[in-house]
């Protein structure tokens, strides 16, 4: 999966970054890592293992939300 470089404040068209994200360190050149369904924009300087663990937590949360709503997904019987 390719990494795409974006700069929220310098390139046109400019993506809008809310003030809260800028305050958390999402400034300057950022990496975007897309796949078929999502895009991940890691905070600059974050280690790969920390990104992977964060994604695991998000995945668990999405699965819990799907279970709570009775949502069926691909491969669910």
The pLDDT of residue 7 is above 90: no
**SS3 category, 50:** helix
24 found inside a domain: yes
Which element (helix H / strand E) includes 7? strand 4-7
Residue 71's contacts (CB-CB under 8 Å, 6 or more residues apart) are: 65
Domain count, the chain: 1
74 found inside a domain: no
Question: How is the chain split among helix, strand and coil, in percent rounded to 5?
Answer: 35, 15, 50
Give the pLDDT of residue 68: 92
Greatest alpha-carbon pair distance for the chain in Å reads 48
Query: Could you tell me the residue range of the domain that residue 16 belongs to?
Result: 4-69
pLDDT class for 12, splitting at 50, 70, 90? Answer: low
76 found inside a domain: no
| Whole-prediction pTM | 0.70
33 found inside a domain: yes
75 found inside a domain: no
């Amino acid at each position: 999966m390719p990494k795409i470089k974006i700069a929220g404040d310098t390139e046109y068209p400019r993506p809008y970054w809310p003030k809260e994200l800028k305050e958390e360190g999402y400034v300057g050149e950022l990496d975007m890592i897309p796949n078929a369904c999502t895009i991940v924009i890691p905070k600059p300087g974050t280690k790969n293992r920390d990104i992977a663990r964060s994604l695991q937590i998000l995945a668990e949360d999405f699965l819990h939300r799907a279970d709570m709503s009775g949502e069926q997904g691909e491969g669910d019987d």
